[in-house]
Structure 1
Amino acid sequence: MTLESTVEYEPIENYFDQFCASTTYEGIHSSFLRLCDAANLRSLPGCGQFYRELRQRLSFYWKAEALFTSLDLRFNEVTYADQTICKNIQVLVVGFGPCGLRSAIELALLGANVVVIDKRTSFSRNNVLHLWPYLISDLKSLGAKSFFGKFCAGSIDHISKHPPPYFTHLIALMIHTTLFFIFRGIRTLQCILLKVALLFGVQIVSGVEFQRLIQPSDDNANDGYLSNGVISNEMNGGKPMGEENVRPLRNLFTLYTGQSARYGWRAEVSPYLEALSTFEFEAIIDASGKSNSCLNFPRKALRCRLAIAITVNFVNYHDVEEAHVEEISGVASIFNQPYFAQISKKVGIELENLVYYKDETHYFVMTIKKKSLLQRGVLIRVSKIEFFPTLFVKDSLYLVDKVVIISFLLNIAIIESRFLILPLSLD
């Protein structure tokens, strides 16, 4: 009797429920692996038949059927089914933020074999995301409601996730170009997209950091840098492969035109991982964020003047009174001057705008005029720097009196909620 035959599994529907209910990266990934083991699939993630086989194995379970019915409509769209340009191509996505995961899903629907890597091992971003209408429709069509029942359940369409158990995001220095704020990088959104990506056969590898790109070559050496961070084996005088290697030469695009190669584009990651070191891809997507650009592409950004925004989370006790507090979606002072004048009179702070979302916490975001922050003693030292790129230089940081800022944040929350959110406790 083999070891595999002695493993006892729970009913497969139990693993599916655990997968849907998981709210952390670790929980989602591990429960999905257990689900695949219990399903005893013949296809592996990355195979074109993976989704169909997993769907077939769970077709008897009504909860799974409800989810897969939504996913089938997307999976079987003519846009995806009738194209061949992306069929079976290998794609590497760097970064499993919302952009990286959504790109991976789209590529998987187009028939690509997608691998996503990220140096992080958890979803740790905490904020509230104001969604555009077309994004809401897109996420609902991907089964968001099956994974997160409260998705867009408030009076204003948004999603959120409980922040860490301490007062976080005390001062956020933000650039604003509109009269309301759009928050990105929400842990709940990442959880939804990760689950969909896994079901569509996307392979996720966490805890590895992209180091450099290795261009196609005739040997397996991986030394030699190019000026843009790409590695060239030719620059290091790479030797031909030994006679034992029978891999044929292929006409692959390289940074040197007219070159043929046995090995395609690869990536070097840290720590070293054998499976990734041999993964050859036709396309790479850099979704690692502007501060961690892996391909070193030049960037140009149009910056506006600095705005100082404060975010704060209060505990939501889910009382009846709290349920009657109305949400505010990005109201600016110029559109409701009496309301902001009332806040200024009672608290002594002039706000430029205010956002309030109610979900697992009471979430407030407000942009405050620098003059008011100075008068109230919130800002102790003020930098003369007025533009974002130099704000985080050590000698130009703002100094903040946390006691004063917490005091007026409590007052603003009490006024906005009309005394319905009591007691107010920082989360």
Structure 2
Amino acid sequence: MTKALIIGGGIAGPVTAMALQKAGIESVVYEAYPHGADDVGAFLALFANGMDVLRTLEADQPVLDCSFAAERSEAYDKTGRFLGQGNMGGSHGVGPRTLSRAQLYRVLRDEAIRRGLRIEYGKRLITATSAAGGGVVAAFDDGSESEGELLIGADGAHSTVRGLIDAAAPQAQYTGNTMVCGYTRHSPVPTEPATYRIVYGRRVAFVYITDPDGQTWWFTNIPGPQRGNSEDGVTAAEYWQQQAIDCVAGDNTPAAEFIRSTDNVVAVTAYHLPKLPAWHTRNMIVVGDAAHAAIPQAGHGASMAMEDSVVLAQCLRDLPTIETAFAAYDRLRRPRVARAMVTSARMSKAATPAGRIPGLLRDHVLLKLLKGRTANTADWLTDHHIDWAAPVSVANHWHR
């Protein structure tokens, strides 16, 4: 039986392990940190396509149990004018589901372990070399080694595996924005259940949703230079809370009041990856953010990583060699990934207009698109289904 070494125990790592297990392939996940829950305070939305992947792996219920649904979105401009609404569900199932990153890491890890999969913590990859028999040997900073037939880098935007595949590979770059989020039980306006509200302000977009327990979750992306953990003696939380308030000041919206009423503000530096020429070698490959970290405006990083996991497992299941499987995976995933990255970059520009005129143009376009009708956002991005039973062949381009 083929054995895969998976580097990274965040989101893509455990999902890849479960997909490989379904394909009859053994794997071990190696996580650099002593535990798997970083970015504890940040949250994300797992869209219909991501939930569809988990349903394929029969791993969706743990996520459903610790998340809440959003059925629609509403858009407003800087004056509070209602622009329109959209349906956020996908035709292949529920979505999006909102939950913290820590919750998602935990339930995916626990589900993988429940299935008998191994996750080893405190294993930071240093290097990987080809084994005498054609496999790969991974060396970790604790002095240990592990050997397998292939190595999968699910180690995020700052991937070590990416550099082992191509020493000249681009590094993750700061997007120019820091995502600031928080949670508050003090709402200055009535909130609608299961509804994401997007306020397009003069400088930034402000997004919020209220959970079934009455707590409002909000986030915004603050443009500016990358900052450290403190600024002139002010804590990071205090600094970013004030930055967020300043960015929405002057808008006739409830955004500033939401931010002021929040006790715990979390800031997460946003990175993206320029187009990566090489995703794989003969026995190493990268998936998820290690291969294609996008500007996070579209919020599809987790869902796209899960799609990678299942497609890679299908290719390894159906094709005769690891090399042909990797080549097929590359061919099948690149067009969709490229389109998602372009879409997210365009959404980021709309969310943070560079001046008054671009902002007015954006609002005009949004009003024209949304006013007086219900938009259906179950499009090519969210309404994507991977048929696990569909065979992969060398010649097949697998159009869906």
TM-score normalized with structure 2 length: 0.46
Q: Which has the higher strand share?
A: 2
Select the structure of larger CA radius of gyration: 1
Q: Which has the higher contact order (CA 8 A, sep 6+)?
A: 2
